[in-house]
Chains A and B, each alone.
Chain A
Amino acid sequence: MSEQNPLYQDIILDYYEFPRNRGRVDGADATCRGHNPSCGDDLTVSVKVVDGTIGSVMWDGHACAISEASASMMTEAVLDTPTESARAWVRTVRAAITGRGESDPAIDLGDADALRVVNNRPARVKCALLAWETLDEALTLAAAIESRAHTADGDA
């Protein structure tokens, strides 16, 4: 089977069949929904940041195998890392998948390296990236909320 289509190699099917960190974070700082209207991939990423570090991150929704596997890989990769490292992960995965942009040489992609399989499949790049881009949005949102809270504190 996997010899026929490398997209469905064992590591991706394993992540698809045994999802990691699926669900919603209680009391999340930010929750963002990523949607791929052409195929119906629909993922929600929720994240809680504690002292600049990702304390909890989960994904939920329905999407194709590569998209769901990628979401599980994302949560494993960035859990308990500083938000800046999580951003570097997003950039590095994006670079690995699209061949564009900067990657962080300090990051070892590990299981997520399997996502490179979509390199020459433009239709699936968006699937593989969806959870990572949605995490990126969620971190931006969490930072904006945090800075607004600080501003409000300052005013008080």
Chain B
Amino acid sequence: MTTTAVRATHALDVPAIRRDFPILETIINGHRLVYLDNAATSQKPRQMIDALVAYYTSQNANIHRAAHTLAATATERYEATRQKLARFIGAPSPEEIIFTRNTTEAVNLVASSWGLANVHAGDAIVMTQAEHHSNLVPWQRVAEATGATLTYLPIDDGGMLDLNAAHALIGPRTRVVAITHMSNVLGTIAPIAEIVRITREKAPGAIVVVDGAQSAPHLPIDVAALGCDFFAISAHKMLGPTGVGALWGRRDLLEAMPPFLSGGSMVGHVTFESTTWAPIPQRFEAGTPNIADVIAFGASIDYLDALGMDAVRHHEREITAYALATLRARHPALTFYATDDTNVRGGVVAFNVRNVHPHDVSELLDGRGIAIRAGQHCAHPLHTVLGAVATCRASFYIYNLSEEVDALSEGLAEVEKVFARAIARPQA
């Protein structure tokens, strides 16, 4: 695993970081924003916003076509983000990075292109109980179209993937192992390298597809070390703009895959009768892409690089440990759903207040300017496993302070006061 390396790491200068995020000054319902919904989307640094504005102000041109100076500069900047991202996640080459709209589209690309061409009736697609719908529904559709079966690896009481079950359930019929790197509900980190090892041993023809939407913003990522075949991310969860995601895939797999979307930009030569495909990555980037946001995303990667992902991880372990200790000590009516061990989890904390619906918790916190998420977090099947109709979710990032954990705790004290009689009853 890449997450627990004990390295001398510098602490983040959180007050300085906060000055780069203009939205953190916003007043919500009379209170300064306490933003704890980072698993949904992160906030954006000035550096990214400036890059976006600069592009539209003075650099706008379409890429990969005209010979004029602006077009050449735009192409160069767009491709620079591809190089930065490749380096950021340890991809052997930038050609293996495909820009998409988001993680969902990246997974759909693999499912539609590789999946429909390579999965057959009787094959098994193996996922986990903790999948976000984005890495579950596309595979259900592949199974429906091909006659493959679906298998879900169980999680244990601490929200950790059960490796014994992985040994037992990944087998010769397995064609796809699709797995979330960090649960968007529980924050738990899956042992990807171990799952890859098991898959290579038991199912040599299978691919391992990793949903990195929650991990890439928060952990140092090295896809080569993880050993997986595909890795999907969303820019907007890692300080970038919405509308950009990326898929990393092994070159040999990508080169053998049929196109996903077709049209302009992804072709070699087109006649009235037929078409040849462009080499990767263009083959998978049909049409004018999201040039502005890809370029702006480059500034987000620079920002995270400058902080250092080891330092990011270190900060999140500290604030998560502080949050869990504080909430457990002060709020006995809270239920948590995952292990407290920050060696194997990130800063996504799901909880419930006894006999109070998450929507009510969130509503009262919002009155104090505190943003958390309430609901099922695009993980309906996981909630049936947790035995919860819905959960509250607080999630941390680089700009969160321990004072904000304290504000959350004070907000929960108000929830406990408003719902005192309901909480005093036994669990419904």
Binding site for B on A (CB under 8 A): 1-2, 4-5, 7-8, 13, 16-17, 37-42, 62-68, 124, 127
Contact A39 B359 (CB under 8 A): yes
State A5–B363 Cα separation when bound (angstroms): 9
Binding site for A on B (CB under 8 A): 356-360, 363-364, 367, 374-376, 380, 383, 389-390, 414, 417-419, 421-422, 425, 428
Contact B358 A39 (CB under 8 A): yes
Contact A40 B428 (CB under 8 A): no
State A139–B330 Cα separation when bound (angstroms): 47
Contact A1 B417 (CB under 8 A): yes
For the complex formed, measure the closest distance between the CB of B28 and the CB atoms of chain A, giving whole angstroms: 14
State A38–B380 Cα separation when bound (angstroms): 10
Contact A41 B418 (CB under 8 A): no
Contact B421 A62 (CB under 8 A): no
Give chain A's interface secondary structure class: mixed
Cβ-defined partner of B414 (8 Å) among A1, A38, A62, A124: A1
Given contacts A39-B375, A42-B389, contact A13 B418 (CB under 8 A): yes
Chain B, Cβ-Cβ closest to A62: B389
Contact B421 A17 (CB under 8 A): yes
State A152–B67 Cα separation when bound (angstroms): 77
Give chain B residues whose Cβ lies under 8 Å from the Cβ of A67. Answer: 357
Give chain A residues whose Cβ lies under 8 Å from the Cβ of B376. Answer: 37, 39-40
Q: Please name 5 pairs of A and B residues whose Cβ atoms are closer than 8 Å in the assembled complex, sorted by A.
A: A5-B418, A13-B421, A39-B357, A39-B375, A40-B376
Given known contacts A38-B375, A39-B359, what 13 new A-B pairs fall within 8 Å (CB)?
A1-B414, A1-B418, A4-B367, A4-B414, A7-B363, A8-B360, A17-B425, A37-B376, A40-B389, A62-B389, A62-B428, A63-B357, A65-B419
Give chain B residues whose Cβ lies under 8 Å from the Cβ of A62. Answer: 357, 389, 428
State A58–B414 Cα separation when bound (angstroms): 31
For the complex formed, measure the closest distance between the CB of B386 and the CB atoms of chain A, giving whole angstroms: 12
Contact A5 B367 (CB under 8 A): yes
For the complex formed, measure the closest distance between the CB of B313 and the CB atoms of chain A, giving whole angstroms: 31
Give chain A residues whose Cβ lies under 8 Å from the Cβ of B428. Answer: 62
Chain B, Cβ-Cβ closest to A5: B367
Contact B367 A65 (CB under 8 A): no
Contact A40 B358 (CB under 8 A): yes
State A4–B358 Cα separation when bound (angstroms): 18
Cβ-defined partner of B359 (8 Å) among A5, A13, A17, A41: A41
